[in-house]
Amino acid sequence: MKRQIYTAEHEAFRATVKEYIERELVPHAEKWETERIVDRSAYTAAGKYGLIGFNMPEEFGGGGSDDFRFNAIIDEELAKAGVHGPALSLHNDVVGPYFKELANDEQKQRWMPGIASGELIIAIAMTEPGAGSDLAGIRTSAVRDGDDWIINGSKTFISSGINCDLCVVVARTDPEAGHKGFTLFVVERGMEGFTRGRKLDKMGLHSQDTSELHFENVRVPNANLLGKEGRGFYHLMTNLPSERLPGIASTRRPNSPVAR
């Protein structure tokens, strides 16, 4: 049955997605699945095809669209092809909105062009070895030191943890404030004390790396605080519902009810 929710513009976008999958993903899919990580070139290629950043502001190289149907088309076509290369849903649907909604003008100038082009791979680090779905149990801490924050702690099961250049880290900045004591920070590749742990095994989506992250006295400038201090929990609660929308479609093969 033909669905009525898509317009001619959406179907033209679908054709672009299919071309990208056939040219940029299919030839390398087996290699990436074996190596348990996708090559970074898959992200920059997605940027050139317009499959990354279409929901980012045009002034930073994005498409300026808030139409979630474009996000859905990418997930549908990846699921149909049974190819799961770069974590486009994570980039567009999950982490991208944090930068779009919370970054200040200076941060947008600094990060958004690279996010929209696929040159900067993004991730978010919430889950910890002792704190999964219970965000209130997060123990990673950030302590103010002059114009910087010192972050200590560990995260696990972080999608794109190995590949990421920018990682939104949830840290406790006030141990006495309960859910009002969390703040979001952007930790960048190469910051001293920021290390990648094991690349974790999992049942499916093997080419989309999942890993441990460790923070040992990582000095992060206050300029990398994302959103408002002490409002991290509220920022997460705002974004989490939309993050869950594409999850099922992007993890299934055609005609199979079982996630890979």
Which is the catalytic residue, given 76, 119, 229, 243?
Answer: 243
Per the document, the length of the chain is 260
Strand, coil or helix: what is 150? Answer: strand
Please say if 24 is a catalytic residue.
no
CA atoms of 197 and 213, how far apart (whole Å) = 5
Give 105's Cβ-side CA count (13 Å radius). 0
CA atoms of 22 and 246, how far apart (whole Å) = 21
State whether the Cα torsion 22-24-28-29 is positive or negative: negative
- Name the residue with tokens 């600094």: 110
- Name the residue with tokens 């087996």: 30
Within the chain, strands assigned E span: 122-125, 141-145, 148-159, 166-172, 182-188, 194-199, 210-221, 225-226
Catalytic positions: 243
